[in-house]
Structure 1
Amino acid sequence: MTSTDSRSDGAAGAAPASDVAAGAAPAPNPHATAEQVEAARHDTKLAQVLYHDWEAETYDEKWSISYDKRCVDYARDLFDVTVPYEEQHKLPYDRALELGCGSGFFLLNLMQAGVARRGSVTDLSPGMVKVAVRNGENLGLEVDGRVADAEGIPYDDDTFDLVVGHAVLHHIPDVELSLREVVRVLKPGGRFVFAGEPTNAGENYARPLSTLTWKAVTNVTRLPGLSGWRRPQTELDESSRAAALEAVVDLHTFSPGDLERMARNAGAVEVLTATTEFTAAMLGWPLRTLEAAVPPGRLGWGYAKFAFNSWITLSWIDENLWSRVVPKSWYYNVMITGVKPTAD
C-alpha cells in the first residue's frame, strides 16, 4: 500500500477476522505517543498497527494515490507487466483479496480496470481497513474488510480467484508462511500478484536520498524568510516519531530470486518476477520526501505536474533503455506472480 506502498499485516492486538462492516473491529489509533513508539521498537506487529493507523487518513495524499484514470492505469500496468499476456484475456476474476490493503490502492484500482468483480481487503491496521472499505464504498465497488494477520489469513481454503498486494511483503515477519496462506486461500488455478516490493539494491539508493532530502528541507526552511515553507514543529515531531516506526516496520528487502524461491517453497507454480523503477526511483523518493516536509498545497499545481511528468518520462526510459543494460536486480521495485496448482 501496503507497503503496499500500499500497508502492513500481522495481528498484534487485533481481533482475528474482525468484520469492519459489522462494527467489531478494533478502533484506529491515529496518534502514537512517544511511549507507544518506544514499546513498538520491541514488538514488530505493534509497530505495524501504530505506524499504519497513524498514516491511514492521510495516506492517499502522502503517496499521491487516487482512484481516477491515472492510478487505474498505473495499477493495471503493474498487473500487466507481471502477469503473462495470455492470462490477461481471461479477465475479470470473480473474487479477489488484497493482503495488507492500506487504503485499498491496488485492489480498488484493479477492480476499476476490470481485473476483478468483487473484493475483500485485510490489514493489521484498523485505520487502514476502515479507509479502504470507505474508499470502495465511495467508488460503488463491492468490497468488504477485515482486520487480519497475513500469517494467518481468516478465510477458508479455496476462497479466492486472485490475491494481490502492493508494498506489503516487506512488512511481514515470515514472508514464506504468508505466501503459504495465500496459496491456501486461493482456488486451484488461482493467481497471486504482489507488486511494489523494495529490492536489496534499490534500498541502498532510495532511502539515503529520502533521508538527505528530509534533512536538507527541514534545515533550509529554518532560514529567515522561508518559514512559510516549513510545517509546524508539532507536525515535524510527529513525522519524526512515524519515521522511527518506519524503521521498525520495514523488515525486508528482496532480490527477485529470493521471492521466486519463497513462492515455490510455499507451493506456487508458474512463478515469475519483474522489476520497475530505476532512475524513476532516484527522482521519486526525493520528490515525495519534499512533499511531506512542506505544508500541504505549498508546492502548487505546477510542481505536481512537473513531478508526475518527470516520473513518467524516467519510467519510460527505465523500461525502454536502461532495462537493456542494467541488471534486473538493480531496479527499485520487484513484482511477483504465481499460481496455485490444480489437482492432477
Structure 2
Amino acid sequence: MPSAEDIRDANVRYHDIAAARYDAKWSIDFEEAGQRRMTKKLGKALGEARTPRFRRALEVGAGTGYFSLNLLRAGVVGEVVATDISPGMLEALTATAERHGLSVETQACEAAELPFPDGSFDLVLGHAVLHHLPDLDNAFAEFRRVLAPGGALAFCGEPSRRGHRLATIPKRFGLMAAPAWRRLLRAPARNGHAEPGDETAALEAVVDVHSFVPGDLVRLARRAGLEHVRVNGEELVANWFGWMSRTLESTAVPGELPYAWYLFALRGYLALEALDRRLLEPHLPPASFYNLL
C-alpha cells in the first residue's frame, strides 16, 4: 500500500500531466448545457427539487473547474474559491475562468489542510475527488470546520464499490471490440493505448485510492459532526456505455476519430443517463450505481 505522501505526489503528477487535455477527454462543457447539468446535480445531491443559491462556495479538488465554474456562470453561487493539489489543474481552471469573464480565487493545498478560517463558506463541494484522498477523516473534519453554520456539503461523482467492479465488464468488452471498431471508423491504432512518454497509465493505480459503499460516506460525514446526511446513486447503464466508449477511444490515435463518433457517444450517454434517472434510480439502492453523491 503506497504511503499518504506517495499518493499525494502521484496525484500531483497525474493531474498536472492530464490538465492540458482534461476537458477535451471528458467532453467538459462550460456553456448552457454544462450549467444546467451541474445545477441539477447539486440540487440532486442536496435533495432539493429547486437548487438553492449560495453566497460563497469552496470547491475541493476543483480540477479544471467543471463543477464550480458552471455553478458560478449559472448564478447558483456568488463567489468561488477553488482548491486542488495540482497547480496544472488550477492553471487550466484560471484560464477557463478568464475566458468566460469570471473572477475565481485559487489555492493549491491538500483537502486535509485547508488554509481558510472557520466558517468561511456556506457551501463546500467537490466532484470525483474523495476517492483520491488518503486521509478522509481529517479531510471531512476540515470540510466541517470551514463550513458556516447552516451551510451545505455536497460531493458528487464518487465511485461505488459495486459499480467500480461492474465497470470492468464494459472495459473488457471495449478492448475486445476495439480492432473491429477501429476498422469500421478507419481509425489508426494507438501504440500501446497510450501517448509516448505518457505516465498517467502507471499512476492511475496509485491515485485512485477508494471506492465506497454508501454507509462509508455516511459514517465519515457523521464522525465529522455533519447532520442530515444523505447518499444517492446515479448512472448505471449510462456508465457502462461511457466506459466502453472511452475504452474504445483509448485504443485509437487522438484526433483521428470522426466527429460523428463523438456526437454518437455523447448523445448515447445522455439518452442512457435519462433512462437511469427515470427508470432505475427511483427503484434501485444507491450501491447499485457507479456514482455516489
Larger displacement relative to structure 2 (75-84 or 47-56): 75-84
- The partner residue of 2:242 within 284, 288, 300 is 284
Tell me the amino acid that sits aligned with residue 83 of structure 1: L
Give distance in 1, aligned partners of 2:148 and 2:4: 37
Residue equivalent to 2:39: 76
The yes-or-no answer on 1:296 pairing with 2:254 is yes
The yes-or-no answer on 1:57 pairing with 2:20 is yes
Give distance in 2, aligned partners of 1:234 and 1:309: 25
Residue equivalent to 1:104: 65
Note the alpha carbon deviations across 1:245-300, whole angstroms, 9 max, x for none.
11110000111121011101111111111111011111001112222332333332
* Partner secondary structure for residue 201 of structure 1: helix
Residue equivalent to 1:66: 29
Normalising by the residue count of structure 2, what TM-score does the alignment of the two structures yield? 0.91
The alpha-carbon distance between structure 1 residues 42 and 177, as it changes in their structure 2 partners (threshold 3 A), is closer
- The partner residue of 2:225 within 267, 281, 299 is 267
The yes-or-no answer on 1:95 pairing with 2:56 is yes
Tell me the amino acid that sits aligned with residue 167 of structure 1: A
The alpha-carbon distance between structure 1 residues 45 and 208, as it changes in their structure 2 partners (threshold 3 A), is farther
The alpha-carbon distance between structure 1 residues 117 and 213, as it changes in their structure 2 partners (threshold 3 A), is same
Note the alpha carbon deviations across 1:184-205, whole angstroms, 9 max, x for none.
1111111111000000110002
Unaligned runs of 5+ in 2: none
Give distance in 2, aligned partners of 1:298 and 1:278: 29
- The partner residue of 2:112 within 129, 148, 151 is 151
TM-aligned CA deviation for residue 102 of structure 1: 0.8
Residue equivalent to 1:4: none
Equivalent residues in 2 for 1:170-185, closer than 5 Å: 170-185=131-146
TM-aligned CA deviation for residue 304 of structure 1: 1.8
Tell me the amino acid that sits aligned with residue 113 of structure 2: G
* Partner secondary structure for residue 150 of structure 2: strand
CA contact under 8 A between 2:194 and 2:201: conserved in structure 1? no
Normalising by the residue count of structure 1, what TM-score does the alignment of the two structures yield? 0.78
Give distance in 2, aligned partners of 1:41 and 1:142: 33
CA contact under 8 A between 1:62 and 1:292: conserved in structure 2? no
Give distance in 2, aligned partners of 1:86 and 1:279: 24
- The partner residue of 2:189 within 205, 230, 243 is 230
Equivalent residues in 2 for 1:191-230, closer than 5 Å: 191-210=152-171, 213-214=174-175, 217=178, 228-230=187-189
RMSD: 2.6
Give distance in 1, aligned partners of 2:175 and 2:109: 33
TM-aligned CA deviation for residue 166 of structure 1: 0.3
Give distance in 2, aligned partners of 1:138 and 1:207: 38
Give distance in 2, aligned partners of 1:81 and 1:57: 30
* Partner secondary structure for residue 62 of structure 2: coil
The alpha-carbon distance between structure 1 residues 87 and 309, as it changes in their structure 2 partners (threshold 3 A), is closer
The alpha-carbon distance between structure 1 residues 212 and 242, as it changes in their structure 2 partners (threshold 3 A), is farther
Tell me the amino acid that sits aligned with residue 49 of structure 1: V
- The partner residue of 1:318 within 239, 253, 276 is 276
Give distance in 2, aligned partners of 1:308 and 1:142: 30
* Partner secondary structure for residue 66 of structure 1: coil
Give distance in 2, aligned partners of 1:322 and 1:233: 37
CA contact under 8 A between 1:40 and 1:245: conserved in structure 2? no
Give distance in 2, aligned partners of 1:42 and 1:144: 26
Equivalent residues in 2 for 1:36-55, closer than 5 Å: 43-55=6-18
Equivalent residue pairs, number: 292
Residue equivalent to 2:95: 134
Q: After the TM superposition, which segments of 4 or more aligned residues of structure 1 sit over 4 Å from their partners?
A: 39-42, 219-223, 225-228, 232-235
Give distance in 2, aligned partners of 1:333 and 1:212: 21
